[in-house]
Structure 1
Amino acid sequence: MNQDSSRKLQTATREKLRKLNSLRGGFSQRLPSASALGKIFMAFPLGEPIYQMLELKLAMYVDFPSQMKPGVLVTCADDIELYSISEDESVQFDKPGFTALAHPSPLHVGTTHGVFVLDPHEKSSSSDVETISCLRFLHKPSLNKMRDSGAVCKGQSGLFSVSGEEFVYTDSTYYFDFDTAKSLLNLLKELGPLDCEIDAYGDFLQALGSKATIDYTNNTANVTKEESSLVEIRQKIFHLLKGTPLNVILLNNSKFYHIGTTSEYLFHLTEDVALRAELGLLNSAFSLRETSETPGCCVMCSVLDPSCSVGAGSVVEFSRLGEEASVGSGSIVSGCWVGPGLSVPDGAFMHSLCVNHQDKIRFVTVFFGINDNLKHSVDAPASMDELKLCSVGLSQCLSHWEIKNEALRFSGDASSCNLWNACLFPVCSDQQSSFSVSLKMLQAVLSGSTNPLPKDTKLMSVQECLQSKNLEEMLKLRKVLYTDITQRRFSS
């Protein structure tokens, strides 16, 4: 290949990566390690080499296309739906308007997902699959809202057979037909480029059903950033879709697993006996050094020295752990190079990203407590102590690093200060030193000690890291891991 052809190939590859990354949804503030490449490319501990969420979704929906008229299928990249139906039944997407899958779920699950209000006169079958019309769709409703709207069912599904046991039908994947797709495209042309966030579930599905009302268009509680045009555009969508049928396919013998938060991710990959058995999840998948002697942990596409240890309930992915290195329990280590002898604390989240900084390739390792709320915001830096990093107020964290409060910078919108846009994380020249520097900062906060940063250390926020990420270099690092694992396995 000549030099000119090589440059063209590199340019084409970058463009493909850019377009591929633009297909994913919003940033994952509840599972930040999935933000750089997108949740659809999250790894799972099975397969050789390991599967991604994309492969799981394709496998789960392999029978759908043959039962589907032309249209659009919408799904989330952070959930898994497993279902069982008899041989004479099928899941069909052949009705006009919208058709959504529905799963029986406990009431508490309904408060964080979409809930269907069904027509009580239609549901009569006890089969695994039943298609009925929906009166209304509720987006993350309260318990009282579910009860008042008639969404709560009792002991009728395959999973809730105990008499009187309450449940709701929650959402996952949905389909809309070609005519509806054309109508939405025409509306987009009329509106022009959007400057606000439109939710594919809340803003579309809440407009459907005979009992749908326009009230939801003014509710911005679940919006990441509210723009002035949001309510007006929502109302136009409502009026366009009002009267469009919403059919619901009740998958009565099904399970819905959501893995979009750090706690859910850790539970389902390390502790959930049911999911591990149903999918055949492994403790160690496509990695060097088996970890079967440490039950309840999960290692994916990583190289671990035989002397290192990974605690129960922890996930390590796309990382290297050196001699005598250790990871505590209930932690996530993603894309990191953990040097010899270093110890990741219990309940820690650590994720290394490759970024472009001042025209150079650099590394930033972000760190949080597993249960930290990265979405919680305050109006001004003066209130930063309301933001908790590992349960410690942010101003106190700064004191451990000998950074003055007034020196802390928040990226993006100055009226919204949170852990996501707080510039706390050092920019380093290589992956290994990046992890080491950030680990010392985290340990200082947890131990109450002092760890001053070197003078003129540049600090970035998670938000800035993602805006300046070098996706090509991050994929190269994964490729190196893949090659290393493959060659060393072959040689042994």
Structure 2
Amino acid sequence: MSFAGEAEVLLQQATRERLEKFARLRGKAVQTGKFWDIVVITAVDKKQEIAYQQQLSEKLKRKELPLGVHYHVFVDPPGPKIGNGGSTLHVLQCLEEHYGDKWDSLTVMLIHSGGYSQRLPNASALGKIFTALPFGDPVYQMLDLKLAMYIDFPTHMNPGILITCADDIELYNIGATESVRFDQPGFTALAHPSSLTIGTTHGVFILEPQLHLTETGELEYRSCHHFLHKPSIESMRHSGAVYKRRNYQPSPGGLGNSVVDSEYVYTDSLFYIDHTTAKLLLTFYKQMGMLCCEIDAYGDFLQALGTGATKDYIKNTENITKEESSLMEIREKVSSLLKGLPLNLILLNNSKFYHIGTTHECLFHFTSDRKLKLEMGLLPNVFSICPNSPEDLGKSACIIHSIVSSRCSVAPGSLVEYSRLGPEVSVGMNSIISGCCIDTKADIPPNTFLATLSMRIDGELMYVSMVFGIDDNMKKHVTNLADIDFLRFFGISLGQCLELWGLRISDKLFSGDTTCLGLWTVRIFPVCSTLSDSVKVSLGILNSVQNKSPFKLNVFKLLSSVEEMLLYKDVEDMLKFRQQLYEEISLQKLEEKSDL
């Protein structure tokens, strides 16, 4: 076995061991000091906070989480968006309010999950941190996986805050006698070897030179000279961020090994701040009062650190979504506040970093990515009633927490979650079906995104299904109605689509800010009285675009945008539908066991 092959096997084993260790803790009380004292999930608004609280309660009730831990959902303050950096500062204040002086002796995991998940809309209503994963019984969600992968951290951590995001997965292996320690002052970040291409979309660390060259192991403790935020490849090379690794690979015919040098950079994932640093940031937040712009916990905090840090980034607005006049002022203050603080690095040289925050990433990692399947034991059919064999469904289809008829067909590369699909349903390749009940004949074309939400409008329970192309850009928007044709729905200009649907272009066709017009805010989805009806009409919308045939939406009483779906969502009813599926699946599995 090659060195690379051996490293992969060790990574798989280490991942399985952590998952098994966490499985033994689910529903059990944890000992003080052996697990997290506090787990915090951030929410962007009150609706999201309620949704997260309800799901946490359900998970605790079903004994899916370790007990004896303080689980909190902290919502961002009302007003302008403050980003995950601003949210971090706000959480520090919430912790002090809840725990007083005690919080300086606690280990805290902070998971940033505030956001509307526009690139993965099936997570928009109930949150990316509650995204279902294709393994586990009951089904694991991202929250479970986070707790499992970081299970060894609290016992080797000084009081402080570990900061992570809701849509990434870090897998790693270290030596049997080694441990990942978060016990240094200032900031401490994990660093993963990655390709230069991946480095362009992440933070990249430039290491302080070592006085004495030592052999590289699976775990190294180093200092960061300078942090680059989403740099170009040219910038990485110029800054000295690119390293070379010598790989030995078997030669063709088995005659010895060939030597191949590969280039890599160290990229970021999560980071830790000790309590003294947390108090420094909290004092700064109190002095600032209300934040008026988005702060990035990675770009705006980490770029201020390291002996080689400069203030060049303060005026660089290349990687921010919305330029605010106050951002430069905040960056200047943060830079002065953090100047001189260390950025300690934990190099995990046998590690993997996966991001599942987009429809394409979700489909690839859950259905096609053989490496992740091996590392985590991902399955094609998880906690579902699905009489079809994986071969009948398509080898790389993925069914999670769903009831699928034996005569239903799901093509390879597609994901079905929290849904009920009848016998005359056909799902095309590379599609996502989420929260749907389809009990009549339906041919869902390839590359379709379809998700049903419950809404409560004027006290009445209603249903609406959003349908898009997997490639549709939900974040893209235009500022005036004349530019509508720059927006594409299933590859067709939105203007053409609206004509097919009998809808007149006007400001009233869009919800929210009329200078931010896009697929997220366009009112094109009929609100219906039943789950199945909502799917039927949304498939009618899709078929009209595919066949260039009229489908009149102006006959429906109420049309909703995705933005409005989230505003009026009924979390309780969506969770009730999932619970009904849960009970039916559990009962059938119990009956199958008793028959054996």
What TM-score results when the alignment is normalised by the length of structure 2? 0.76
Shift in alpha-carbon separation, 1:162–1:400, aligned structure 2, 3 A: farther
Q: Find 2:315's aligned residue among 215, 218, 226.
A: 218
2:507 aligned with 1:404, yes or no? no
2:344 aligned with 1:247, yes or no? yes
Shift in alpha-carbon separation, 1:53–1:15, aligned structure 2, 3 A: closer
Instruction: State the partner residue of 2:120.
Output: 31
Amino acid at match of 1:267: F
Distance 2:573 2:209 in 1: 55
Instruction: State the partner residue of 2:223.
Output: 133
Distance 1:14 1:127 in 2: 43
Give 1:177 shift: 0.5
Q: Find 1:17's aligned residue among 47, 54, 67.
A: 54
Instruction: State the partner residue of 2:202.
Output: 113
2:431 aligned with 1:331, yes or no? yes
Structural mapping, 1:46-125, within 5 Å: 46-121=135-210, 124-125=214-215
Cα RMSD over matched residues?
2.3
Structural mapping, 1:75-474, within 5 Å: 75-121=164-210, 124-155=214-245, 163-291=260-388, 292-293=390-391, 294-406=394-506, 409-474=509-574
1:363–1:430: 8 Å Cα contact kept in structure 2?
yes
Shift in alpha-carbon separation, 1:84–1:398, aligned structure 2, 3 A: same
Distance 2:185 2:259 in 1: 35
Give 1:171 shift: 0.9
Distance 1:470 1:152 in 2: 49
Give 1:454 shift: 4.8
Distance 1:67 1:162 in 2: 38
Moved more, 199-208 or 169-178: 199-208
Shift in alpha-carbon separation, 1:317–1:470, aligned structure 2, 3 A: same
Amino acid at match of 2:295: I
User: Residues 194-246 of structure 1: CA distance to partner in whole angstroms, max 9, x if unpaired?
Assistant: 34322222222122112223333334444444444333223322221122111
2:52–2:127: 8 Å Cα contact kept in structure 1?
no
Shift in alpha-carbon separation, 1:213–1:26, aligned structure 2, 3 A: farther
User: Residues 33-68 of structure 1: CA distance to partner in whole angstroms, max 9, x if unpaired?
Assistant: 112221111111111110111111111111111111
Give 1:21 shift: 8.0
Distance 2:318 2:528 in 1: 37
Distance 2:557 2:228 in 1: 48
2:481–2:507: 8 Å Cα contact kept in structure 1?
no
Give 1:154 shift: 1.3
Distance 1:317 1:166 in 2: 39
Distance 1:428 1:220 in 2: 43
User: Residues 86-145 of structure 1: CA distance to partner in whole angstroms, max 9, x if unpaired?
Assistant: 112221111111110111111111111111122233674310011111122222222222
Give 1:357 shift: 2.2
Moved more, 169-178 or 116-125: 116-125
Give structure 1 regions of 4+ aligned residues with deviation exceeding 6 angstroms: 12-15
Gaps spanning 5+ residues in structure 2: where?
1-48, 56-71, 76-111, 250-257
User: Residues 234-286 of structure 1: CA distance to partner in whole angstroms, max 9, x if unpaired?
Assistant: 33222211221111111001111111111111011001111101111111000
Moved more, 276-285 or 335-344: 335-344
1:352–1:431: 8 Å Cα contact kept in structure 2?
yes
Shift in alpha-carbon separation, 1:184–1:109, aligned structure 2, 3 A: same
1:126–1:157: 8 Å Cα contact kept in structure 2?
no
User: Residues 440-479 of structure 1: CA distance to partner in whole angstroms, max 9, x if unpaired?
Assistant: 1012112222111252432222222222222222111111
Distance 2:248 2:470 in 1: 34
Number of corresponding residues = 480
SS of 2:527 mapped into structure 1? strand
User: Residues 277-332 of structure 1: CA distance to partner in whole angstroms, max 9, x if unpaired?
Assistant: 11111110000114422210000000111110111000000011012111110000
Shift in alpha-carbon separation, 1:387–1:15, aligned structure 2, 3 A: closer
Moved more, 18-27 or 289-298: 18-27
1:102–1:250: 8 Å Cα contact kept in structure 2?
yes
Distance 1:376 1:37 in 2: 22
Amino acid at match of 2:531: Q
Moved more, 251-260 or 447-456: 447-456
Instruction: State the partner residue of 2:82.
Output: none
SS of 1:46 mapped into structure 2? coil
Shift in alpha-carbon separation, 1:14–1:464, aligned structure 2, 3 A: closer
Distance 2:248 2:115 in 1: 34
1:377–1:417: 8 Å Cα contact kept in structure 2?
yes
Shift in alpha-carbon separation, 1:171–1:410, aligned structure 2, 3 A: same
Amino acid at match of 2:308: K
Instruction: State the partner residue of 2:62.
Output: none
Moved more, 161-170 or 446-455: 161-170
2:424–2:440: 8 Å Cα contact kept in structure 1?
yes
SS of 2:384 mapped into structure 1? coil
2:167–2:355: 8 Å Cα contact kept in structure 1?
yes
Give 1:351 shift: 1.2
Instruction: State the partner residue of 2:577.
Output: 477
Distance 2:209 2:570 in 1: 52
1:37–1:471: 8 Å Cα contact kept in structure 2?
yes
2:126–2:571: 8 Å Cα contact kept in structure 1?
yes
Shift in alpha-carbon separation, 1:115–1:290, aligned structure 2, 3 A: farther
Distance 1:62 1:371 in 2: 36
Gaps spanning 5+ residues in structure 1: where?
1-11
Amino acid at match of 1:204: F
Amino acid at match of 1:289: C
Distance 1:462 1:353 in 2: 10
Moved more, 260-269 or 442-451: 442-451
